[in-house]
Amino acid sequence: MCVGGRVEMSAVSRLCTLLLISACFTLTSAEHYSIDDQAGLGRVFDGIGGLSGGGATSRLLINYAEPYRTQILDYLFKPNFGASLHILKVEIGGDAQSTDGTEPSHMHYEDDENYFRGYEWWLMTEAKKRNPNITLIGLPWAFPGWIGRGVNWPYDFPDVTVSYIVSWIIGAKQYHDLDIDYVGIWNERNFDIKYIKLLRYTLDKAGLERVRIIASDNLWEPITLSVLGDEELREAVDVLGAHYPGTTSVPAAVKMGKQLWASEDYSTFNDEVGGGCWARILNQNYVNGLMSATISWNLVASYYQNLPFGRDGLMTAQEPWSGNYVVESPIWTTAHTTQFSQPGWKYLQTVGHLTHGGSYVALTDQKGNLTIVIETMTHDHSVCIRPPLPPYNVTAQTATFSLKGSFASLSELQLWNSKFDFKTKKPVFFQKLAPIKVSNGSFTLDLDVDEVYTVTTIPTGLKGSYPEPPPSSPFPKTYKDDFNVKNPSFSEAPDFADQTGVFEYFMNLTDPGPHVYTLRQVVTQRPITWVADADQTVSVIGDYSWQNMTVSCDVFMEKENSGGVFVAARLDKGGGSVRNARGIFFWVLADGTYRVTSDLSGLSVLAEGLSGTRANTWNTLTLTVKGNFVSGELNGYLLWKNTVDLVPKNGWAAIGTSSFELAQFDNFAVQAE
Ligand SMILES: *[C@@H]1O[C@H](CO)[C@@H](O)[C@H](O)[C@H]1NC(C)=O
Ligand SMILES: *[C@@H]1O[C@H](CO)[C@@H](O)[C@H](O)[C@H]1NC(C)=O
Ligand SMILES: *[C@@H]1O[C@H](CO)[C@@H](O)[C@H](O)[C@H]1NC(C)=O
Ligand SMILES: *[C@@H]1O[C@H](CO)[C@@H](O)[C@H](O)[C@H]1NC(C)=O
Ligand SMILES: *[C@@H]1O[C@H](CO)[C@@H](O)[C@H](O)[C@H]1NC(C)=O
Ligand SMILES: *[C@@H]1O[C@H](CO)[C@@H](O)[C@H](O)[C@H]1NC(C)=O
């Protein structure tokens, strides 16, 4: 009954969300599907997108040399080329750890405003250059500490938080000519009804009526119930966005009629199973849950792979030092939808599951164009990271589609196909096949398992390509940075991945000596966090597999008496686990002492003693680790050496400070073995 009643597919879709999915397969053997707009259309399609940030997931992308950086951006955003994304969602940096690093805030301090930090402005500009119609979204994960007046909560002073967020939207327009289309509340954390209403009111008052609000980037239920029970809130919220919905929504949200989005989804290792996950949810988020947009966390895997959720992006670009990048299968499964439909098109009501497993959706521009996307991904070849995927079966099948209504007289359709082919491990993605001749209003496809098809009136599809990028190679074993950049394009130095705190290029024009251009840690107060940031600041760099290395850096403490800075080797944890990072840390403090510890928190002390170090003078720290032998030098003089039973055996090089305090770094160098 579920699949049999083809004409009433919108009712069927709703029914399918209520029944177990498996029940939808068992009750019919029909293999005839109608594509029909006579009974009206389904929901407006809002697009497919990628999420940069949440956090620091595009960190390494900006350091690619040309032409590779342009090529990667083309694969992501250029229309009719690769993923051709409709939506770019970015993090509104909050100076705090938001999964794979920190992203800088446009307001580190209450009296500070700077709309040129980080890389999200640049990324939005590059995306817009390629696709002027791209939908832009901003969402905070964390907030600078001053927002909460010392409390780890953003809603105690809602007017402060609202004006902070609205200033980001105004700055986007003023400094980058970027129109932000949607803004969210607080990623995967509590929302506050008063805050949302004030945000709407303040946006309107600032002439930003066009900026729409997504709530609440978390689960369906709490926001749906709140919106149902509050008319003013209902008017303030434009889109209900849920994360990792497992292709289903809730009946109350569907009934309300607001647009429903998978406002964050995917997060799966981007091998072929990841591509399968993405193909399945792009279709079934609408078929099962009537979601009209799906956004991938993350856009592009441009962070060290040993940070949490390595390679969970639509493609991989994690080696700016080699120029190597990989156009992974999710790029092409995205293209199956994005190259042949646009936001503003409408889904047909005749969408659904295929009799022997898989699904199909149909979209129209209401001007006669039609795009049908079919996927037959099997269970084991399309598992996403979350939520668990209940078992189901898919077998090879023959499917006949009858074109009715506006589409009855179409005579030829373009055909695109991806074959994952897990048996031979020779997948073929996004190939153009001979056009389909529609005979007597219908066409038939032989569908194998693990395939994606697009059948469309749109003739412009293209599998874009560039010459092979350079081969993959490890991070260089000899690496130096003197930070002498007069007009940096980005606020952060190449390849440093901040895990707590923010490290920025700094210029001290009154310095008569060699330290005019430095790298400065600038977060001076614990942020309103999204995960447990460390109590120290830390930025990592290099190759996680490094065992033996010498790390050296000139350091300058700005905090008198109680300040402290370190260089480290074999640092083993970043992201949400950064508090528990171990390794070997060599600290000097402004109270005239030094310390060697085996953890970032500084609790496991291996050695300590006098160093004579003070604030506001430059010192050079050198840390050498070889096997279990460790030595630390200050300004070229040995302070300490010993053989210790070191855990971990490998990890990144790092620099940092002993608290949220200003400090500078210069002439960083690492020599790994
Ligand atoms: C942008 O949208 C407009 C109106 O829908 C359309 O005419 C135009 O072709 C689109 N531009 C691109 C680059 O897609
Ligand atoms: C389909 O879209 C194209 C633009 O992509 C447009 O020129 C054409 O008129 C539309 N309608 C049909 C039936 O192709
Ligand atoms: C899948 O097919 C197998 C073998 O025919 C059967 O045992 C199993 O119950 C099916 N699973 C589902 C979820 O239909
Ligand atoms: C064409 O389709 C109509 C209605 O679906 C059917 O009655 C007719 O027999 C078909 N003709 C051919 C040649 O298949
Ligand atoms: C800038 O340089 C001057 C002169 O060396 C020094 O006194 C001052 O502390 C430096 N300021 C900062 C913020 O580094
Ligand atoms: C690191 O140094 C130790 C001691 O010399 C040696 O046993 C080990 O093989 C070295 N590791 C690497 C990766 O070179």
- Residue 7: the pLDDT is 32
Residue ID of nearest Cα to ligand 6 atom 4: 627
Of 361, 331, 187, nearest in space to 264 by CA: 187
Residue ID of nearest Cα to ligand 5 atom 9: 616
- pLDDT tier at 286 (50, 70, 90 boundaries)? very high
Please state the separation of Cα 49 from the chain's center in Å: 10
Q: What are phi and psi of 173, to 5 degrees?
A: -75, -45
Residue 147, exposed/middle/buried by CB under 10 A (0-12, 13-18, 19+)?
buried
Q: Do the Cβ atoms of 214 and 92 come closer than 8 Å?
A: no
Helix (H) or strand (E) holding 235: helix 231-236
14: pLDDT strictly greater than 90:
no
Q: Which of 113, 188, 558, 608 is catalytic?
A: 188
Write the CB contacts of 633 (distance below 8 Å, at least 6 apart in sequence). 620, 621, 622, 623, 624, 639
pLDDT digits (tens, 9 = 90+) for 102-146: 999 999 999 999 999 999 999 999 999 999 999 999 999 999 999
Q: Which of 264, 272, 328, 633 is catalytic?
A: 264
- Rounded CA gap, 195 and 268, in Å? 33
pLDDT digits (tens, 9 = 90+) for 634-647: 999 999 999 999 99
- Of 21-35, 509-523, 590-604, which gets the smallest average pLDDT? 21-35
Is 91 annotated in the active site?
Answer: no
Q: What are phi and psi of 169, to 5 degrees?
A: -70, -40
Ligand 6 mean position, distance from CA 321 (Å):
24
pTM of the predicted model as reported, rounded to 2 decimal places: 0.95
Residue ID of nearest Cα to ligand 2 atom 10: 369
What residues are in contact with ligand 6 under a 6 Å CB criterion? Answer: 547-548, 626-627, 673
Q: What are phi and psi of 120, to 5 degrees?
A: -70, -35
As given in the structure block, the two tokens for residue 321 are 């030092």
As given in the structure block, the two tokens for residue 73 are 């951006």
- Residue 259: the pLDDT is 98
Report, as an integer, the average pLDDT of 299-328: 98
21: pLDDT strictly greater than 60:
no
Ligand 2 mean position, distance from CA 432 (Å):
19
Domains of the chain: 41-371 (3.20.20.80), 478-672 (2.60.120.560)
- pLDDT tier at 29 (50, 70, 90 boundaries)? very low
pLDDT digits (tens, 9 = 90+) for 40-73: 999 999 999 999 999 999 999 999 999 999 999 9
- Rounded CA gap, 531 and 96, in Å? 8
- pLDDT tier at 192 (50, 70, 90 boundaries)? very high
As given in the structure block, the two tokens for residue 264 are 């964050």
Compute the 3-state secondary structure of the chain and give helix, strand, coil in percent, each to the nearest 5. 20, 35, 45
411 lines ligand 3 (CB under 6 A): no
617 lines ligand 5 (CB under 6 A): no
Q: Which residues pair with 164 in a beta bridge?
A: none
Report, as an integer, the average pLDDT of 507-512: 95
Mean per-residue pLDDT of the chain:
95
Q: Do the Cβ atoms of 307 and 4 come closer than 8 Å?
A: no
Length of the chain: 673
Q: List, in sequence order, every beta strand (DSSP E) within 438-490.
A: 442-447, 451-456, 478-481
pLDDT digits (tens, 9 = 90+) for 475-484: 999 999 999 9
- Rounded CA gap, 102 and 53, in Å? 9
pLDDT digits (tens, 9 = 90+) for 479-508: 999 999 999 999 999 999 999 999 999 999
Name the one residue in this structure whose structure tokens are 């620091």: 56
Ligand 6 mean position, distance from CA 581 (Å):
22
Cα end-to-end span (Å), the chain: 66
132 lines ligand 1 (CB under 6 A): yes
Report, as an integer, the average pLDDT of 226-239: 98
369 lines ligand 2 (CB under 6 A): yes
396: pLDDT strictly greater than 70:
yes
652: pLDDT strictly greater than 50:
yes
1: pLDDT strictly greater than 50:
no
22 lines ligand 3 (CB under 6 A): yes
- Residue 312: the pLDDT is 98
Residue ID of nearest Cα to ligand 1 atom 10: 133
Q: Is 326 left (phi over 0), alpha (psi -120 to 50) or beta?
A: beta
- Residue 356: the pLDDT is 97
- Residue 635: the pLDDT is 98
508 lines ligand 5 (CB under 6 A): yes
- Of 1-5, 99-103, 303-307, 347-351, which gets the smallest average pLDDT? 1-5
- Rounded CA gap, 89 and 180, in Å? 10
Q: What is the 3-state secondary structure (H, E, C) of 289-338?
A: HCEEEEEEECCCECCCCCCCCCCCCCCEEEECCCCEEECCHHHHHHHHHH
27: pLDDT strictly greater than 90:
no
Is 188 annotated in the active site?
Answer: yes
- Rounded CA gap, 574 and 526, in Å? 17
